[in-house]
Structure 1
Amino acid sequence: MTEWFSETLHPHWRQSFAADRVLLREQTAHQDLVILENQTFGRVMVLDGMVQLTERDEFVYHEMIAHVPLFGHGAARRVLIIGGGDGGTLREVLRHKTVERATMVEIDATVVEMARDHMPMVSDGAFDDPRAELIIADGIAFVAGAHQPYDVIIIDSTDPFGPAEGLFTPAFYGACRQLLTPGGVLVVQAGVPFLQPREIAHVNAALSAAFPEVAFYAIAVPTYVGGLMTLGWASEDAGKKVPDPAVLAARVAASGLAFGYYSPEGHAGAFALPPHIRAAARG
């Protein structure tokens, strides 16, 4: 009989996956980790009962969390990723040949190890790129003690529970701002506003306490149920959000990259939020 896994993120609504095969169940030092196979979505990673990514639709999230800040910035050489143990964000960052160093700080070594073993298609060799630096450490402590500046910082975290809770505070965002080069960009995940309106409002307040320019953009990831997901964007330079269309198109063309979700038009359009999301962000 097929085993079914039900995500427990939302108290009154759940999505379920048929687990055609359970590849891994492990209690790591920080969280409960499950990797399963599903006929529709391929391999699925679950942390503490919450779906983190699936093989089939991970490209949406990883492309948009990486390419919006990188193409928006236009000249990023050093990138810091907090979290992202599956390696998908690292993969997309390193597709930019102009990136000289990508430092990824992940608290849970087991997530990295098991993702490489059971979902290698996600990182696609990114961990072996000589420009990649993997540090197993607490992201908050790393940022507090770091001195090397970064052009882009990406907070690729789980929802604000457990190990990730401290990554959603004004103090942490303020510490990130201190690490950014002039005109640097910070991007964070901010949940699904239709079901998590308090999360985007909290992120908005925390980012606004640390940065003069804050915005949100929306993406559609099928397994992040409940409508559009949002990502938070922050910088001292509002111009790094959506460059002139001709400039942005030229940057993308010069990169020679092809995408499954990201495009220059989609980059700009993602910031055109529906009224209900704008209202949720205001709290």
Structure 2
Amino acid sequence: MTAWFNETLYTGFRQSHEIKKVLFEGKSKYQKVKVFESGRFGRMLALDGVVQCTEGDEFVYHEMLTHLPMLAHGRVQSVLIIGGGDGGILEEVLKHKSVKRATMVEIDDVVIKVAKKYLPKICGKAFADRRTNLIVGDGAQWVAETDERYDLVIVDRPDPVGPATVLFSKAFYDNCRRVMKPGAILVAQNGVPHMQGPELTGAVKLFQKIWAHSGTYLAVVPTYVCGFMSLTWASDRDITDIDPRLVFRRFDKANLKGLNYYNPEIHFGAFALPNFVARLLPAPRSRAAKPKRRSA
């Protein structure tokens, strides 16, 4: 009899994946962890019954959270990753030879151990790279206390439930800004707008209170069902206001190997929003009002 993994993240809707073989199933201090061979997407990691990543499509999520902001910045040497225990983002970050140090703060050591053992196609040799600074601990506490500063902060946050709710708070993002160098960029996943619209609206409103510029871009991750995945960004500069030729030159110079989704054309296309997504975004933060012309 065929066994199925059923994800019921959204009320009134579920997705199912055939389970060929369970490789790991256990409970850490924070969550239930499961890795299994699926019938379609290869090995899959699920936390608390929700799909986190799969061998079949992880490249979309990890490449877009990494390469787009890195090439928009152009001079990233230091990176902070909050979460990301599967190692996929870390692996993409380290493809950039310009990166001198990548600090990853993951609260759940079980996820890291499981990834190293069962998901090498996702994390590669990233955990063993000499540039990796792996911290098993609380990301919110790290940004509140560290003296380090970063060119890029990637928040690989799950849905806003349980211990992860702190990764959606203003205090957390105030501290993220504190650890960012001038011109640095922050990116975070923000769910599927078709199903989690208010979450996207709330995130951009929050970012507008902290940074001069913010917004969202999109990617299509098959196992993050129901349409586009939104990836929010924030910075003290507008990362959309850049000469496309510069991104193409940076891409060629970076000589990135093995990419399956990101390219310079996708870079700019990702900022094109369908109307229903654009309507979820609050108006840009107002600039200083211009003096009104006196009436004659």
TM range (shorter): over 0.9
CA drift at 1:282? 3.1
Contact kept in structure 1, 2:17 and 2:39, CA below 8 Å: no
Contact kept in structure 2, 1:242 and 1:268, CA below 8 Å: no
Alignment match, 2:122: 122
Q: Normalised by the size of structure 1, how large is the TM-score?
A: 0.97
Alignment match, 2:287: none
Alignment match, 2:255: 256
For residues 177 and 27 of structure 1, the distance between their equivalents in structure 2, rounded to whole angstroms, comes to 33
Contact kept in structure 2, 1:81 and 1:156, CA below 8 Å: yes
For residues 184 and 69 of structure 2, the distance between their equivalents in structure 1, rounded to whole angstroms, comes to 9
Is 1:153 equivalent to 2:153 in the alignment?
yes
> What is the identity, as a one-letter code, of the residue corresponding to 1:23?
L
Cα shift readout 1:97-121 (whole Å, capped 9, x = no counterpart): 0000000000000000011111111
For residues 163 and 266 of structure 1, the distance between their equivalents in structure 2, rounded to whole angstroms, comes to 34
Q: Secondary structure at the match of 1:127?
A: helix
For residues 198 and 31 of structure 1, the distance between their equivalents in structure 2, rounded to whole angstroms, comes to 25
CA drift at 1:242? 5.2
Alignment match, 2:64: 64
For residues 176 and 211 of structure 1, the distance between their equivalents in structure 2, rounded to whole angstroms, comes to 11
Q: Secondary structure at the match of 1:12?
A: coil
> What is the identity, as a one-letter code, of the residue corresponding to 2:88?
G
For residues 73 and 229 of structure 1, the distance between their equivalents in structure 2, rounded to whole angstroms, comes to 22
Alignment match, 1:99: 99
CA drift at 1:53? 0.5
> What is the identity, as a one-letter code, of the residue corresponding to 2:215?
A
Alignment match, 2:198: 198
CA drift at 1:11? 1.2
Contact kept in structure 2, 1:174 and 1:211, CA below 8 Å: no
The number of residues matched between the two structures is 282
Contact kept in structure 2, 1:170 and 1:206, CA below 8 Å: yes
Alignment match, 1:4: 4
Q: Which has the larger radius of gyration?
A: 2
Q: Percent identity?
A: 45
Alignment match, 1:276: 276
Contact kept in structure 2, 1:189 and 1:232, CA below 8 Å: yes
Question: For structure 2, which runs of at least 5 residues remain unmatched after alignment?
Answer: 284-296
For residues 242 and 117 of structure 1, the distance between their equivalents in structure 2, rounded to whole angstroms, comes to 42
Q: Secondary structure at the match of 1:105?
A: strand
Q: 1:127 to 1:242 in 2, by over 3 A?
A: farther
> What is the identity, as a one-letter code, of the residue corresponding to 2:57?
D
For residues 123 and 206 of structure 1, the distance between their equivalents in structure 2, rounded to whole angstroms, comes to 31
> What is the identity, as a one-letter code, of the residue corresponding to 2:181?
T
Question: For structure 1, which runs of at least 5 residues remain unmatched after alignment?
Answer: none
Instruction: Tell which deviates more after alignment, 32-41 or 88-97.
Output: 32-41
Alignment match, 2:89: 89
Q: What does 1:128-167 align with in structure 2 at a 5 Å threshold?
A: 128-167=128-167
For residues 182 and 213 of structure 2, the distance between their equivalents in structure 1, rounded to whole angstroms, comes to 13
Q: Normalised by the size of structure 2, how large is the TM-score?
A: 0.93
RMSD: 1.1
> What is the identity, as a one-letter code, of the residue corresponding to 1:255?
A
Alignment match, 2:54: 54
Runs of 4+ in 1 over 3 A off after TM superposition: none
Alignment match, 1:245: 244
